[in-house]
Structure 1
């Protein structure tokens, strides 16, 4: 697929991921000049209507949603026998990758991810779409901080909530009890899956484990999900309650849809993330004693619930109060001046840092196909740190740089880390056995390799026309059981047997061989007692095996070989006839048969000892002897 132009628009660049249903590639939309992710259904599933329906359903479901937290779908179509889906490209990782690296997340991180996923899911539920396959693998965390929900391959309209025959298509660890027991899914089933995800983020493990899928399914159907704090005591009570609400075994006891759960999350979010709480302000009025008229006012800022006490000595007179007020104003002025100077310094420093200093944006240099040491030097000179990562690549030779993340030409902060992908060469893949199959079927099974558009053709008396005789590698040898991804292959396809032409007239033989694409050369003609003159005695193949364009050598008959004419002059006519006919000639004479025993041969033609074709006529002339 690498390098292929899909539907005349999408140029495939590299492979991102491969799943059980499709492979996702990075591609360039040549029309709009942007990078996209193109999802291509596996060729062996193209004839399965169930999978094709699911594939198209994903496009339609996601295309109905326009939300910042849902992966955008741009296009869907069919190129020859290949179904594809074009989506927004998000460089980054999945929530599953994050959990693998960090085991469990902090409550603040969990809240951020839940907020984003619930926002996207709320848009889906509002549009009448149930996702039905929520799991960490389908939550995308982009490098720029965006969080998006993707993979609507199992999504269905909320009204079509029965999952007959497909109830267990979602990942078993996140299936709701009603999906396990009744095969029914609605928005509340998505809420249950999201509750399991929240539990996993907070504790680093799933609530139910087992050696077999049915063991896990049984626990979903019969057990209640424990509070995350039983595994991780630091989980706030609010999150505990939210997870238990979302994972109730009774769907009626869960939030009806994602919007209701999102609203509840945002209500309790200030208590879950104390660093984000807003500070309340209170005013305290300080007045002098001994008079009902305020003589001085002080506004004291304090968090809500704090007790603020101020007092004025009873002996203070108005002059003392005024002096204290003046001192406070003077001190406040000094602090304000210091604050202004500090902010000015910070502004200048920040401007320098992000404008010309280490935090400034710089363009990622192009490093593709460079040696790692040279690419590292170029990136470091541009102000970036470098993290090398090995990766298979079917195009870039092993030991050379494939590219970077962020890619060349993008802007990034100086000092940030750039991932440099170093090629380990192509991935070695098993080669399907396609010998004896129709050419189109063979090509459909070899999509992981670069199959030459022009097949080689070969004559075969044993394999029918149009079927594959062999698969050749780049060196022209028969390919083995494994081969490099996108390695060059050539199909050898049968065109049937070489047309048989022995015994045919030479003109007809030439016509048949020309029609089969074969060249002809002629050997010296030969005598043959069984093959008529100007007919083919033998057709010799000059190559083995024979391919169109090869040469056949024909030997054409000159008829029977000539023989020596016997000498019959002086013999009786009857004896001469017997001898000539025995030599293979026919005899011509003019005397009546009655006089043959009495007549003597005086002349013969051809003359004695001359060569003449067997079967030709010899004329004899006789005279009577009285």
Structure 2
């Protein structure tokens, strides 16, 4: 018997019609895969195109921003403005001749420049016009030059000057002076110390040694040596010479040699006893030579009439002898009415010899005398009396 083929609908890919059915299914699946692949590639293309566009935008203008204008703002306003524009604001201060202190000068890069966002932008804040600074404590020229440079100022060394207080090589003055406000880049002339000004040796010849020493020291010089020399025509201790000579310019503190008279002035001993005169002369550094009597003196007997050399003269200390001239003058005492004995005693006390011209006894009274009372006589002269 013939076998009849039957179709099983549960398995369409089986049976006599299976092959056509599979071909149709395969065709549908192929078309579906094609459409999916196209979609995927389209999406990939779109994403790539968008990425390339964004990259081009970022590489071109997207990551750049324009530096804003902040001139005239306060520092805080300027920092905020630069930050809002997408930049890292860094403030710095500098001197400026026009923009007042604490106001913004501008930026670096300048306003309007396109720069990478997030990059640094320097905000320039004005310090105003610079002031010439005060000198450093050590008055160092190099240190001061650095201080000027920090203020945009230029140091120039001028001619040095003398100073009574600032040591040599240190700053004495600046032109313009410290504290003055100047333009940026101004030149400041520095003047350094030459030390103390030289002084001229004053003319001290003829002054006493003490006065000369005072004047020289007040001038700033030092009397290092005093030489002694005799000059009979000048006073003791009078200055005879000075070395270096008067008018010479010297640095302060320089040594000076003074030559002074070493003569000794004879003191006035007239009217003194010989012993008193000896002591006075010895105290003055003199010695007593000859002692000579003089009868023409008006001074009392035994008193010094004068000296040779005379008082006030200047004696060489190498030959300090002085002679005394001693008075022998006697004022004849009044012996009239005295007993012969009393008259003899009075005459002898006056330095006179006594003689009686008659045979009078010691108890007799003097009735005449010669020389007369009050007359001038010399020591050793004789007074003659007559008694009764």
TM range (shorter): 0.3 to 0.5
- Give TM-score, length-normalised by structure 1: 0.24
**Larger helix proportion, structure 1 or 2?**
1
- Give TM-score, length-normalised by structure 2: 0.36
Which structure has the bigger radius of gyration?
2
